[in-house]
Structure 1
């Protein structure tokens, strides 16, 4: 009987599900259209999925109403020949009396005279028609209803403040529509004023109305080509892209009326993304650790890309016998687009990372700018796996103090650092680039001072470890090296440093090198000095050849077969005792340095500043401001506010007699000009005893 029940109930249930989905379709389409129109495709998709889910749930509940009681009631009402006994047909295997069995056989033969389709409920035609018409009206209203930034804008009253003159058109209503580029994710907005601050690359649309009606209005760009307006009914429309900041004014009457005020558009450039490390810069591997998850935070004003690149550098080995390998892997971020988190999991086995090595990671991200996304590189994080042969450091400070000097202060490592800095030049800011170069120059200075000790010079730095430029020396080379030292080497002692590249044969601190080795070492020190000078002045590319030559001379000293030391001290030039305390100045050159004028580029600004003042160079009439305009355009990058300065220049040009305009321009020029350098102080005049002394040594007597 269960099969018979399913056979009679299935058509009704299918009709109820189809009817429910048909009734849900019009509201679902209306909700999707409204969501897409006013909230975007994401909202439309969410509304569609939610509507489908609700419709399926309701259809299932309505289909479940067609159960056994419903079937019995429907058959008894539709089939009088069943004599209200249809329940006997679907009673299952329950035992029946003799009379019930007889009645069941009688109506079973009559059941085949009809079919399950007789019990299918009708379609909800009227309800479906009402819902369809309502949904069509809602969809049409949603499509025709203007969104923010679409359709004709509502004009605001003009704020030009110009007096009305008969027959002269003037601006009476205005609107500025700002359409940011798609990658910013910012909505379209309307501004009631003609001054705005917009993202760079946004499209600007002006809608203006004049009274009386203008004939050929224009937008006059200060320092650029005018922009013509096109008529659209009673309004005038113009558009352009804000690639850079500019000043403009609305000219409705082709210069026949009063001069309209200037308006300003500031184009805000897309800032590059920023990366910040959330993990310590130096981390030691813990016992039992098999992986590492360095964490970074990436932020951007308009959003960071969902994927980034992680540069992984492995350094395996000790001293200068270090092998490097580098690879980049893609990583994914989590969180909102403007503040993403990157925490990739790095497995030691997959990278071949083992004890005695360093793993350096650097995150490279991009923003969502289109086209040409901007790229930024985060700080480098170091994971150090101490070698089992070396004692472990108790903390970060001790590790840095004992390891980094030996790593960074060899001539070969200085060359490596210079080449690395040159590769990163385009990605670094000028001040950061100069600071990195100066830091390498400081390392070069310490190394130069170390080698200068053997040439009679003083040590200029206080490094803690010797360099690794020198090669080890064997015990079977035929020379007596004396007993092993009882205490560790102390940096700064000439004998200890010299032992790295030669054989000390004397313990005297006044010992010197043989002339040939001394000459080679002096050439190395001279090249180091040249390299240091270029590095500290921010020219690592010029310092690289000097650094290479210094390394070559150091290697020549290392390859010397023997270095002899003598017990004599430095030979100083003899002192002429007959000339001492005599006051004779023959043969002495003048030490006075000639002062040369400093070349400055603020000539037009300084001339205009003097002309606007009250001094002897003041000009009370019209001033030639053409050179000043050219100076502003040439120095836009370094001026604090070039647009404001251009606006004041335009005001003075149009009204030379405006005292407030002249004063404002003079104040702007004072802040824009380069600050003057400090003048050399004059020497104080000699007093009485000093005058007599100078006269005596000059041969003038007392």
Structure 2
């Protein structure tokens, strides 16, 4: 064996023994600490403690094993191997650096060292310390497991806080405990409360443990406006439980109505709030695709009072295409969130090629999350984010984000397409035959004719076959000119620009055309655009696209001005009254006639019982000094609970007045609560203040009297 391999072979067993010994010492401490963390903070804390403790133990074990190196090996061999003659360091020296006698001694030592095993150099186990630590760890784990946690085991009763006077032979409450066991989805531990008033999540299990002196016979818990809840005896204590589904007021009645009236207690139910979803990135709802971008990673965050589900759904809507060729597709993908349960973050990576997203399309994403509520989870849809990939054929509109105009912009794009086609034809002229060149030019002219006809409808034109010659008489048409107008305007066959045919589907074109929605200035500009289109069409059909381009460009400029017009007027629409039956006029017949006067239904206010009780409790003419009929008022807070700031406080005040009608503070408190609970009356015209001395003199002078 070479001198380089010798230290590794002789030190490895010692290092392994030291690392195992260190881990055996640390393991009971890690387990005991994890048990304490689990008891106090839950399973997550226990796992974290185990991970961190194991990492620390492994670090110190490696640090401790690192001391068993070549220097340690030389000292150990010299100490336990007399046959090495205190020359163990020669075993690891380079022969080239040694003299003749030293090389001879090295060879002798190399033959002698194989007479023993490397296992003999391993240090002993720390048996005594390991035993002590394991015993201490097991004792600590046992204490943690068997020590009663809050909300588990027999409760510890606290002295009663009702402070009722003792009446001979009448039981009264002397000790109490209220245990609240929240639903499992909240992750909250059970807890004991020394007070009988509490706040708890909806769905919690409420358990009362009560003790009476003298011992009660049929005690009960009496909710205000609810069914009586009986108690069952358990030794010296009485126990009752119910599931909390809504807030309520109650009394502990130890003697079935005998003795002094116990005070009211309240349990407030805390409703589970739905998750809150926010878009972190991008900040704007509309984002444009950048050059070279091939994926998109929006970032959402979802928060909840108890916890958001670990998985969510991302709804992806794709809109691809332009004009009437837009296709929509929708899909949902599952996402896994990161971070703590109450504040999760979702960062999906959306690959354009995998989704089929391309130029000229929109991608709309929306995150759908749920919380951990049981049995029915709250589901919330987050804000929508839009990623837009502008089409290379047309620049993106900068002023109409999120708004699609389906009329004039389509015409604008069509006229631009005619210019593009004409320029393309001019560039291809050398490679085309004369008849082919003329045919394609005439085809573009036909498109220009169809487009000109569409715009002419905005000017009230019925048909745009050929323009009037300059020498035409300019015959004018009117509704009563005595000749046939030929019925509704003939619609062009479907073809270029067909989606815009709906603009002239209804009405006579003389005065009900879309031109009635244009102001005179815009109408004049549009007329110039149509004239330029006619000149462009004329040159295209004659086979001269180069001569048609100037007219087409001018038409495009005029159309752009029309598109950017700021004033649009709508035609007036009068009332559509039924036709008058002339045969019934002047006959005096009234058969079939009925009154058209609509009955005025009074508005029913929701504060009727409350307003009546408020007046009865006051000092006005309608005040009642004695007992007040509170039956209707007792039902009012429960029916209007959604509109009241604190319906339980109002129910408690009603109960206090019912039990002691002569209690003036109770009546005053109830009247104050009724005033805050009733709807605020609508504003009315304020009465004019009477004139002061200066105003009286002025009015007297105006009336001719003596100031």
For the residue of structure 2 that corresponds to 1:168, the secondary structure is coil
* Alignment partner, residue 313 of structure 1: 317
For the residue of structure 2 that corresponds to 1:249, the secondary structure is strand
Matches within 5 A, 1:1-400: 1=1, 2=3, 8-78=10-80, 82=83, 84=85, 87=88, 90-91=91-92, 94=95, 95=98, 97=100, 101=104, 105=108, 108=111, 112=115, 115-151=117-153, 155-231=157-233, 235-278=237-280, 279-393=283-397, 395=398, 398-400=399-401
Report the Cα offset of residue 209 of structure 1: 3.9
Report the Cα offset of residue 476 of structure 1: 7.9
Give CA-to-partner distance per residue, 1:409-457, whole Å, 9 cap, x none.
x9xxxxxxxxxxxxxxxxxxxxxxxxxxxxxxxxxxxxxxxxxxxxxxx
| Aligned-partner Cα distance in 1 for 2:38–2:574 | 92
Report the Cα offset of residue 372 of structure 1: 1.8
Q: How many residues align?
A: 552
Matches within 5 A, 1:473-622: 496=458, 563=508, 565=510, 594-599=599-604, 604-605=609-610, 608-609=613-614, 611-612=616-617, 620-622=625-627
Task: Quickly say closer, same or farther: Cα 1:502–1:298, change in 2 above 3 A.
Answer: farther
For the residue of structure 2 that corresponds to 1:399, the secondary structure is coil
| Contact 1:510–1:570 (8 Å) recurs in 2 | no
Note the residue ranges of structure 2 that are not aligned, 5 or more in a row: 411-443, 468-473, 490-499, 513-571, 576-589, 686-707
RMSD: 5.0
Task: Quickly say closer, same or farther: Cα 1:509–1:137, change in 2 above 3 A.
Answer: farther
| Aligned-partner Cα distance in 1 for 2:390–2:646 | 54
Task: Quickly say closer, same or farther: Cα 1:139–1:628, change in 2 above 3 A.
Answer: same
Task: Quickly say closer, same or farther: Cα 1:141–1:658, change in 2 above 3 A.
Answer: same
For the residue of structure 1 that corresponds to 2:167, the secondary structure is coil
| Aligned-partner Cα distance in 2 for 1:106–1:517 | 122
Task: Quickly say closer, same or farther: Cα 1:363–1:10, change in 2 above 3 A.
Answer: closer
* Alignment partner, residue 694 of structure 1: none
Report the Cα offset of residue 670 of structure 1: 4.6
| Aligned-partner Cα distance in 2 for 1:571–1:375 | 48
| Aligned-partner Cα distance in 1 for 2:676–2:463 | 59
For the residue of structure 1 that corresponds to 2:643, the secondary structure is coil
Larger Rg over CA atoms:
2
Task: Quickly say closer, same or farther: Cα 1:156–1:400, change in 2 above 3 A.
Answer: same
For the residue of structure 2 that corresponds to 1:270, the secondary structure is coil
| Aligned-partner Cα distance in 2 for 1:564–1:116 | 111
| Aligned-partner Cα distance in 1 for 2:480–2:322 | 33
* Alignment partner, residue 642 of structure 1: 647
| Aligned-partner Cα distance in 2 for 1:295–1:71 | 58
Task: Quickly say closer, same or farther: Cα 1:511–1:618, change in 2 above 3 A.
Answer: farther
Give CA-to-partner distance per residue, 1:502-529, whole Å, 9 cap, x none.
99999889899999879xxxxxxxxxxx
* Alignment partner, residue 556 of structure 2: none
Farther-moved stretch of structure 1 (330-339 vs 15-24):
330-339
Report the Cα offset of residue 75 of structure 1: 4.8
| Aligned-partner Cα distance in 2 for 1:110–1:311 | 74
Task: Quickly say closer, same or farther: Cα 1:660–1:557, change in 2 above 3 A.
Answer: same
Report the Cα offset of residue 258 of structure 1: 0.8
Using structure 2 for the length normalisation, give the TM-score.
0.64
| Aligned-partner Cα distance in 2 for 1:185–1:123 | 44
Give CA-to-partner distance per residue, 1:670-699, whole Å, 9 cap, x none.
55456678999xxxxxxxxxxxxxxxxxxx
| Contact 1:300–1:338 (8 Å) recurs in 2 | yes
| Aligned-partner Cα distance in 2 for 1:571–1:119 | 111
| Aligned-partner Cα distance in 2 for 1:157–1:565 | 94
Task: Quickly say closer, same or farther: Cα 1:171–1:563, change in 2 above 3 A.
Answer: same
Report the Cα offset of residue 651 of structure 1: 1.8
| Contact 1:75–1:86 (8 Å) recurs in 2 | no
Task: Quickly say closer, same or farther: Cα 1:387–1:79, change in 2 above 3 A.
Answer: closer
Task: Quickly say closer, same or farther: Cα 1:255–1:8, change in 2 above 3 A.
Answer: same
Give CA-to-partner distance per residue, 1:474-507, whole Å, 9 cap, x none.
9989xx999889xx89xxxxx6286799999998
For the residue of structure 1 that corresponds to 2:308, the secondary structure is coil
Using structure 1 for the length normalisation, give the TM-score.
0.65
Report the Cα offset of residue 300 of structure 1: 2.6
Report the Cα offset of residue 595 of structure 1: 3.6
Report the Cα offset of residue 647 of structure 1: 1.8
Task: Quickly say closer, same or farther: Cα 1:608–1:566, change in 2 above 3 A.
Answer: closer
Report the Cα offset of residue 245 of structure 1: 0.8
| Aligned-partner Cα distance in 2 for 1:374–1:400 | 33
Give yes or no for the alignment of 1:662 onto 2:667: yes
